Structure formats: C-alpha cells, structure tokens
Structure 1
C-alpha cells in the first residue's frame, strides 16, 4: 500500500513492457473506474490522487496506471497503438481485480482520448461506459473537431465532464459534437472551470468546490448505469 491507501500493482502490457498501477478500492464499492492519466502528469500526480480519493468516498474504486512513456520518464507520449494496448491491459487487470463490480473506463485529457480510441477500434471487454475528465477536442489555440471523429465508432454511453473555460474544447465545437453522438453521449459543463477544473477567484468558488461538483456528477451518472 502507498500513503494514500492504494495497492501498488504491475501490469504486463506486452512480453517486454510492464507499467505500474494503483488500485484504490473503498470498503463497499459499487463500481470501478479504469483511470488513465493526462499527457503531462502520471498516475501519482496530486490531481489524480484527489480524484481517486474523491471517487472512493463516493463508492467508486479506481485503477490508475502509467502509460509506458511516463513509466520511463519520457516527455513524449506513446504512439496511439502502444497507448491503446496499455488501456486494454489495464482494463483486463481491473476486470481481474474488480470483476464483481460494474466497470467504467476513461481518464484525464490524453488518457481519456486513448481510452476512447481503444474502444472505437474494438470494444474494451466488460466496460459499460466511458467517462472523460476534460476531453481534449483540439490543441490549445487550434480549434478543430478532428480528434473526435473516432467517437462515432464508440457504441457505449459516454460522459463528458468539461469546464466552460477549457482551452482544449471550445464550446461552439464541443456542444454540437456531443449532440451529434446522440443519446449515448452526455455533456456535463462545469461553469468557469478550465481544462484542469481550476476556477478563477472572481468566479466566487474554489477548486475544491468545483472538484466536488465534478465528482458528484461522475458518481450520479455511474449510479444510473450500474
């Protein structure tokens, strides 16, 4: 166990590639979330730990894991094929460890997109739905919806948790994209939050209050599908 009470695991991605993982399972879980990190911060980043702990308080177990590039300390994300293989390995590990629970998958930014790409190519075994914590629709300052094209191939429910100030998902592109996915997609906007769910002081709220809103919405949606 680590200081936050998570069990440390090793996941085999291939014959010559292993990654670290952290399983945080509350006493009475009602669902499990396979939780991938963003491009610039690994599974042990304080924001990842805060989300995992908050979900545990709401009865949701999490399996956080590293992508190979983060495991090696590289600053360049893995090619999509490698990232997607890692997602599949993590989902399989979660199914082994939490097979008694409804299984969800997704992650922050890059991790969420790699999860949806994997699901679009071939369904992730046992996964009921995807949850995105800030889907990166486009690069900052380069508005486009091209990164979302693969979502048309995702046939399970999806929840998009997005800040209204997210520089990687302009609302005039994000909202029609989600509508175009039909009933299987749900968009939960977080007022005045950015891509990391940070809010400015003038909003009248603090980051802790915003994260509670995000996690409450996450848990309520998962409960409906569990």
Structure 2
C-alpha cells in the first residue's frame, strides 16, 4: 500500500473502494474507523485506512491543510490505480473528514463519509465549516449529539446521523457507526449484504 495506507486488499471481489483518514491527533485505530472498516469489509467493500505523513513520522501536530490534502490526493490516486473501476467513497473522522470533503471532487469520489465532522472549534460556533460539506456529492455525516465541535444540519445531498449521548470520539457504540455507514453505502449500491470478507 502507498504511504501510510493499509487494508485495501482484504476483499476478493470488492463492490466499491472506501478510503478513510484519521483525526488530527489520532490514528486509524480509532474505534469508529475500525468499526466502519470491519462492517464495510464484511459487506464487500475494499477499505483503505490512510495514515497522514506527519503521523507516520511520529509527530502529533498536523501539517497545514494544503499538505494534508496533497498527501491524501496522492495516496487516493495510487489506490484507485490499484483497484480500477470501483466507485470511490472517501471519508474519515474529524480532520480526516475535512480532508476528504475538500478533495472529494478532485479525486473523482462518488460519495463521502464524514465521522465526527468538526463543524466548528469548541465554543466558537461562528467559525462554521459547514461549507466544506457542500460538495455536490452524496455525503453521510455521523456525529454525536454531545460533540463540542458541533453537529451539522442536513443540507441537499448531506445526510446527518446523530448518535444520542456520543461525544466527538464516537466511542460508546462504534458498531452503531459501522452499521450506519454500511446502511448508507448499501442504499447507493456501494455495499452488498451478508459476510463477503
């Protein structure tokens, strides 16, 4: 796998390719990302979990947005080349969701999965990032009702799933996150039923 990407080879005849990135200070081992990975693979989706170069280098502070976006576009291009002809769905959690939204059109994505989308910095609702969700592509947002980064409103093409009592980490019921994502993928023909892994 290119750069910090792992996992896209686990499905023999994938229906789609889902590429997911981590949050700013986190990793691809976040419970919600792992749950989405496992549920999507079981539904016949090739899933790649991408670690940004700053995390591969051992740094916790994220690189500037332009660097994150460039690294993401590079990895996604290699993955698409390795698995040609599949619908591409991009996404991630928190900062990774923002990267996916900003680059989705450029990488040729068919849809976006945004977990714990950080609508605004905590305590600063006037600094909304809602416009990043408006890409013209089908988009699923899964946020916790108690997320200090806020919860986006639904918009044309943007479906919002709010998990009651969850915070930004979406740790209480990660399997619920995985099921929500696979249900959304299936509704668009991007995932199958049953265990195909």
- TM-score when scaled to structure 1? 0.75
* Number of the residue aligned with 1:20: 4
* Number of the residue aligned with 1:49: 34
Structure 2 CA distance for aligned equivalents of residues 31 and 149 of structure 1: 26
Deviation at 1:105, TM superposition (A): 0.2
Deviation at 1:37, TM superposition (A): 0.7
Q: CA RMSD in A?
A: 2.0
Q: 1:225 aligns with which of 184, 188, 193?
A: 188
Change (3 A) 1:135 1:46: closer
* Number of the residue aligned with 1:132: 114
2:161 aligned with 1:161, yes or no?
A: no
Deviation at 1:114, TM superposition (A): 1.2
Deviation at 1:57, TM superposition (A): 2.0
Structure 1 gaps of 5+ residues are 1-8, 12-18, 199-206
Aligned length: 188
Change (3 A) 1:194 1:45: closer
* Number of the residue aligned with 1:65: 50
Deviations 1:22-79 (A, max 9, x none): 0243344322211111111223456543432232123222111121211111121111
Change (3 A) 1:145 1:30: farther
Structure 2 CA distance for aligned equivalents of residues 28 and 64 of structure 1: 18
Structure 2 CA distance for aligned equivalents of residues 147 and 82 of structure 1: 19
* Number of the residue aligned with 1:84: 69
Structure 2 CA distance for aligned equivalents of residues 44 and 214 of structure 1: 14
Deviation at 1:92, TM superposition (A): 0.9
Deviations 1:134-188 (A, max 9, x none): 1011122222353223333x1111111111111111x4xx22xx33xx2x11111
* Number of the residue aligned with 2:92: 107
- Runs of 4+ with deviation above 3 angstroms: 44-51
Structure showing greater Rg: 1
* Number of the residue aligned with 1:203: none
Structure 2 CA distance for aligned equivalents of residues 110 and 213 of structure 1: 21
Structure 2 CA distance for aligned equivalents of residues 43 and 165 of structure 1: 22
Structure with the higher fraction of residues in helix conformation = 1
Structure 2 gaps of 5+ residues are 190-197
Change (3 A) 1:45 1:188: closer
